[in-house]
A and B are shown apart, each in its own frame.
Chain A
Amino acid sequence: MRFAPTEEQAEFRSAVKALLVDTCDIAAVRASWGGEVGRHTEVGQGNGRVERAWKGLADMGVLGLLVPEADGGMGMTQDAFVGIAVEAGYAGLPDPLIETAAVAPPVLASSSEPLASELLARIASGEVTVGVGFGESPLVPCASTADWFLILTGTAAHLLDASAVDITPLSSVDGARHLGRVNWSTAASTVLVSSDSDAAVLTAARNAAVTFSSATLVGLSHRMIDMTVEYVGERHQFGVPIGSFQAVKHELADAALGVEFAEPLAFNAAHLLSVGEDATVAASMAKSRASRASQVASDACLQLHGAIGYTVEHDLHLFMKRAWALSRQYGDFRSHRAVVRRALLGS
């Protein structure tokens, strides 16, 4: 029994953290905002990508972490990725990391299509990104820059070239998301796996998206809490730091408490994915807690910043808006609790 990353995993995670501090600072997150539609055009000219960070992640092997060694990856398991997803959240990395590096590779690797193997190698090298969507015409982040799309319906995993889909750009509250509604047809897709042959792969893909978005939310929440701890330590009112007021302390303690107990649930779900067990309930437990914790944290952190937090000049909103989006993408707090409830009580 050992509930902790291996020493190697912990070192790798700190190296990734250092890379992101270096390549994905707040200015880079801000610069990734912008786009062809909506109210963010005046904020930035970005395309939702931080190329320097992405290249660094490729060079370090992060993008190929779950790609089989035969396809140029590291052939590792999901428990090596979960801490990295937390760091990506903490940094506010807008790129489609969990989709490209954690959801797509196991699906591709389970397919015997020659195209799949080719794509795996290009994921590992950082040449391509994969947009992932669930359902008929899904909302996909970083849609305008994705090279490939993996669309998971309840019954199959479809792979489509970017030129084979029709993307309607949509403005997200988080200007770094570069969201698109993806319309596609089975005529143009390659079916990688179907529920007849390999339902477990489809389930695992859903569980990976749920688990790693939970981990990302944990990172985002930690970041918002850290920013707020720093702010309330500096800001003075009534002649004292506002962080010395007990109402402020308790609100932050509660925010931290929720995140503290969401985190092990995400690690547990990643562990189950690693050992090939069904992680459906575990992933839903994680998402239900991480979504709620991030909502509590963003509410508290905005409130404790006062008006300065209610501006786009301040950095808090960059993380808060991502948290609003991610806490509902791949299912919100209640829908995931309902998954657990049905498993426990049958209704």
Chain B
Amino acid sequence: MDLTWTESEQRFREECREWLRANVPAEPLPSGDTSEGFAAHLEWENLLHSAGWAVVSWPAAYGGRDATLWEWLIFEEEYYAAGAPQRITQNGIFLLAPTIFEFGSRAQQDYYLPRMSAAQDLWCQGWSEPNAGSDLAGIKSRAVRDDERGGWVLSGQKTWTTRGAFSTHLFGLFRTDPEAERHRGLTYFLAPLTAEGMTVRGFGRLDGDEGFAEVFLDDVFVPDDDGTTETMAAGGILGEVGQGWGVAMSTTSSERGLTLRSPGRFRAAAARLLELAHDQIAAGVDLDPAVLDAVTDAWIDTEAYALYTLRDVTGVVEGTPAGARSSYNKVFWSELDVRLHEAALDLLGAEAELDGSWMHGYEFSLSGPIYAGTNEIQRNIIAERVLGLPRK
């Protein structure tokens, strides 16, 4: 065990902290899941990118600074501690990019990644459909081969697409072989939302933001990749035709595990929770001891998650990544987030209902056990793939 940071990691932390101190907007931006807020967040992404902080762990050629995974964790910690804006690029940089690094051709990497880090292309995730949620393999949207034009024709409907209304591109799963058994016959497509035949309709979430969208595809043409920028601009395929399930599953462990939800986010929230508790105690608010216990529980669980992540990152660095165990992370961080916000609402008492940051955070936390594979599905995975219980 060595729980110290090297000198160069400490310097890296200082550098992050200083830049963030000088640049994070003093007033929080309006939510990035509204059209007004989205524009403000886009400006912020441009600033991050120009200073080289958009994607620290990527190669410099793609807009990063070749940071190690440890440095990435440090960056995340500093980012959230500084109260910096939410990342509207997250579906691209955290969910799609790992797949492009793993399955994309060199030409695809060279084309898509720099545009993604510069927030020129803004990606949304088109997996769920009206009748394919937890049962993702039940996807009905199709891609039909068009040999004459040399490409694929996409049709169908995607839904719950986060920030679809503000994004420029979609990555998603489409059925290329209607005969094949469910998980087979799926292909991982990339497509611009500006293509002919795409219709995007944004709609409101529980928290009132227009963060969801439905995407209708009506014979959208995606040309075969001939290695040119023109065809890549019009979309493409990641991995092989018919291998979409396997390609997509590689992003799920990023989504469930540490890349989407680094401990820095929860540490910052736990620190704010403690601050709130101190304020309420100092103000003489009469608090039930059980509320203070709930605050303590949230703090302990945040520490447990942070330590668990250190172990995970050690595993990744040493070549033993978490695999199906990332389902433990997903259940733990999402339920921790809910309990943490509930504790804050209990501290606030009758004022909890006021439309403030804690209530807003609470509303968002409630989606954690649903998205990225519901927690019921994660518990199935833990039981079957980690513990080894019989499937049937």
Contact = CB atoms under 8 A, between A and B. Distances in A.
B379 A250 contact: yes
A328 interface: no
Contacts of A250: 376, 379-380, 383
Given A1-B5, A246-B380, A257-B382, A337 B297 contact: yes
Given A4-B1, A267-B1, A229 B387 contact: yes
Contact of B387 (A6, A253, A340): A253
A289 to B, nearest CB: 6
Contacts of B281: 345-347
Nearest to A3: B310
Interface size class for chain B?
35 or more
Interface in B306-325: 307-308, 310-311, 313-315, 318, 325
Interface string A251-271: 011101100111011011001
Interface string B265-301: 0000000001001100100000000001101110111
A285 B303 contact: yes
A340 B5 CA distance: 25
Nearest to B310: A3
A69 to B, nearest CB: 21
Contacts of B370: none
B284 to A, nearest CB: 12
Interface string A272-308: 0010000000000100110000000000000000000
B385 to A, nearest CB: 11
Interface string B349-392: 00000000000000000000000000010011011101111111
A8 to B, nearest CB: 12
Interface residues of A, number: 45
Interface string B326-360: 00100110000000000000000000000000000
B9 A1 contact: yes
A344 interface: yes
14 contacts: A3-B307, A3-B311, A4-B318, A229-B387, A243-B390, A249-B380, A253-B382, A261-B308, A265-B300, A341-B296, A344-B274, A344-B295, A345-B277, A345-B292
B179 interface: no
Nearest to A9: B1
State the majority secondary structure of interface residues on B.
helix
B295 A345 contact: yes
A228 B142 CA distance: 44
Given A256-B382, A265-B303, A345 B387 contact: no
Contact of B305 (A232, A248, A261, A341): A261
A250 B382 CA distance: 9
A244 interface: yes
B308 to A, nearest CB: 5
List 6 tightest A-B contacts by C-beta distance, closest first: A249-B383, A3-B310, A264-B307, A253-B382, A253-B379, A341-B296
Nearest to B312: A3
B303 to A, nearest CB: 6
Given A229-B387, A274-B1, A344-B295, A264 B304 contact: yes
Given A3-B311, A261-B308, A244 B389 contact: yes
